[in-house]
Structure 1
Amino acid sequence: MANWEELPQELLKLIAQRLAIEDFVAFGAACSSWLSAAAKETYDAKSKPPWLVTYVYKQTPGAPWLTADVSNHITEFCSPSRGRTYPLKSLGTQAKTLSPPGWMLVSNWSSEYLRIFNPLSRISIELPTLEKLFSESFFSLDPVIQRMVRPRIKRMALSSSPSSSGSYAVMIALDWDIGLPWLAFYRSGDDAWREVSPATHPPWTEVLQLIYYDGLFVALDAENHITTLNESESRMESRLVLEQKFEGRPYLVECSGSLLVAWETTGAKGNRFRVFDVDLEKGTKEEVKSLGKASLFLNDNSSFSMDFDAASCLAGFKPNHIYFTDYTNEEEEKKIYSMDCGKVETYSDVIGHSHAGQWFRPNF
């Protein structure tokens, strides 16, 4: 056909739906007809290969340690299925992935300013500062002490993509340098963050995981309590307590519509995983022996799952596996755990390179 613009829209949409993100963007830039077929709303990130993201901070010669020099902070995205790296100068000195995947929380070292940012669309949204929250919190400290210690944002979750929704909410878990963990909440249109009260007394311990699932912000703390946010009352509500206390790391992740706790255990046999399907309504859990045609990609901040189906474009990845970071060695290593046989392998991309960083699912 001489005129590629005249290809039927149905055919163009079928082609676009099967493209990885790099090809999807290039496809839409070809002409107006192809752009219509490659609408952002039709892109299914769950069936496309993930990236890896690393944050490189370059110290300015002669500058004080941890100087917040925004111009020297580089975020690098690696496409393992292509063996390509895409550098991006960040909008802050710290950038961490959010849920839903595709977005990042960007801040400076002292968390004096916060933004949510999408590296694909380049949409950047400024959030209120945390100063009002610090001054009015039940953890309110003497101003002199506040200048000496700063809170660190340890976990974060986003309710929906601001690109597709006019209303969204952000939740963060903070931890003061002197050891006071707490949660805060912000909804678009508000003028400040709201403090969230704990579900238990004494107040909670460190929040290990925080995600948005099925219309709820869900937290897992160091005492194995799973709690959810009651937004109207700005407090957490207890759902269940996980009785198992494995040596290792737990991860909260949504997979095929279910909420899973993937627990990395350590021992003489090395890294192993126990996976549980959690029912928040019943307050129960059930062990999962297979992920079916899905795989998990686990991070401290934002874990996610990928679906292997007829429309998937996941070259170099396997179903029914868990992709995670092994922290037991001096250098962090990307590993793969097979749910079929329990075998652990070192992950490498299509050209044989291994990578540090966090798994990232690019999306609009």
Structure 2
Amino acid sequence: MSGSGNLPPDLIKVVAERLDAKEFVIFRAACPSDLAGQYKAQKRAPWLISFTDAESLFWSMTRVEEVYRAQLPIAPSSSGLGVLCYQGWIAIALEGQLKLFNPISGIFTKLPVLEMLCRVHKFALSSNPSVSDEYVIMVHVQPATFAFCHPKDRAWTTQTYRPKSQIMDLIHFKGRFVALDENRQVITFNPQDNFNPQENLVIPNVKGSRRPHLVECSGSLLVVWHKDDWFSPDSMTEFRVYKVDLNEKACTEEKSLGTASIFLSDGCSFSAEFNARSRLPEIKPNHIYCVDFFPLWDRKILSYNMEDGRIETHPELMPRQAGTTPRWIQPTF
């Protein structure tokens, strides 16, 4: 692949879309970065990633038993390695500077100095940093500061959310950043308005639920509640899904995901579309998948059927070498 830069982009795209997990990572390492955004097949498939003291472990749902390893620049137990987003990037503090690190591709992206980097809680990306520098990053700094940066500006824009409520989740959705606080308030940040926080609506409360998740699914913004009972042998009981209309400031409950499925984990939630020709026969549409930790020593991948509420356990999706705290990602290369 040393001469891949001389191949027509259309040919590279055709080849990439036919590769499986391991070959895809190798192909990306040899392929010029300006072509990385031209293929979409594998990066849309769900992967899982976990961490040990010195490396990350990751595997694709296409080859669950093939667990790949990548060295980390700092141990996960250190305060320097903090936050993972669903695209597979980590916000990491090295030498007093906030950087983005892709543990699969090994790519580093420098960011401007952020004085409050030790309190970074969550972050979201508007697009893939390895493809171009046109992306915007949003960082939530505890307790109530949001910082935004376009790499070309080489400076951060900061905003304070005055209610100072804990932020439960955040996402980039159709040109805006969207956050959800502990009072179930949906807050949007529009780059056309200098990222000033705008309160949109309060979503319905679901009694007995865990932390809510913001997910883009089939062009819609969803809030997914995980309702459970910690005193039950089966900690997962049901999910409630609400569609949020930011323009109409309305919220309606969704009973079906259609041909899509949702993958939930802390700070790393997303959806993927599946059809009859999907290369992931174990993954079914109209389901919600999550990693369950009850009890803590018995990690399980569970699915919830949106049609009938049935819960299934999927040992075939969890390899023996699973590391700690597996989380779903849609890796970008």
Category of TM-score, reference length = shorter chain: 0.7 to 0.9
Pairing partner for 2:108 from 124, 131, 148: 124
Pair 89,227 (structure 1): closer, same or farther in 2 beyond 3 Å: same
| Residue 258 (structure 2) pairs with residue 295 (structure 1) | no
Unmatched tracts of structure 1, length 5 or more: 1-7, 58-72, 135-149
More moved, 220-229 vs 186-195:
186-195
Structure 2 partner of 1:237: 198
Pair 249,19 (structure 1): closer, same or farther in 2 beyond 3 Å: same
Larger Rg: 1
Whole-Å Cα distance in 2 between the matches of residues 253 and 80 of structure 1?
A: 20
Whether contact under 8 Å (2:126, 2:172) holds in the other structure is yes
Pairing partner for 1:90 from 72, 78, 95: 72
Give the TM-score of the pair, scaled to structure 2. Answer: 0.81
Whether contact under 8 Å (1:211, 1:302) holds in the other structure is no
Whether contact under 8 Å (1:226, 1:239) holds in the other structure is yes
Structure 1 partner of 2:78: none
Pairing partner for 1:273 from 211, 235, 239: 239
Q: Which amino acid aligns with 1:338?
A: N
Aligned to 2:23, what secondary structure does the other structure show?
helix
Whole-Å Cα distance in 2 between the matches of residues 173 and 350 of structure 1?
A: 32
Unmatched tracts of structure 2, length 5 or more: 1-7, 76-80
State the 1:283 CA deviation: 0.6
- RMSD over equivalenced CA pairs, Å: 3.2
Identity of aligned residues (%): 36
Whole-Å Cα distance in 2 between the matches of residues 358 and 119 of structure 1?
A: 13
Whether contact under 8 Å (1:46, 1:305) holds in the other structure is no
Whole-Å Cα distance in 1 between the matches of residues 194 and 9 of structure 2?
A: 48
Pair 9,227 (structure 1): closer, same or farther in 2 beyond 3 Å: closer
Whether contact under 8 Å (1:210, 1:218) holds in the other structure is yes
| Residue 307 (structure 2) pairs with residue 340 (structure 1) | yes
Give the TM-score of the pair, scaled to structure 1. Answer: 0.74
Pairing partner for 2:150 from 187, 207, 218: 187
Pair 56,354 (structure 1): closer, same or farther in 2 beyond 3 Å: closer
Structure 2 partner of 1:259: 221
Q: Which amino acid aligns with 2:84?
A: T
Structure 1 partner of 2:173: 213
Structure 1 partner of 2:60: 79
Pair 92,318 (structure 1): closer, same or farther in 2 beyond 3 Å: same
Whether contact under 8 Å (1:229, 1:236) holds in the other structure is yes
Whole-Å Cα distance in 2 between the matches of residues 278 and 304 of structure 1?
A: 15
Structure 1 partner of 2:5: none
Whole-Å Cα distance in 2 between the matches of residues 56 and 29 of structure 1?
A: 23
State the 1:123 CA deviation: 2.4
Structure 1 partner of 2:23: 23
Q: Which amino acid aligns with 1:123?
A: I
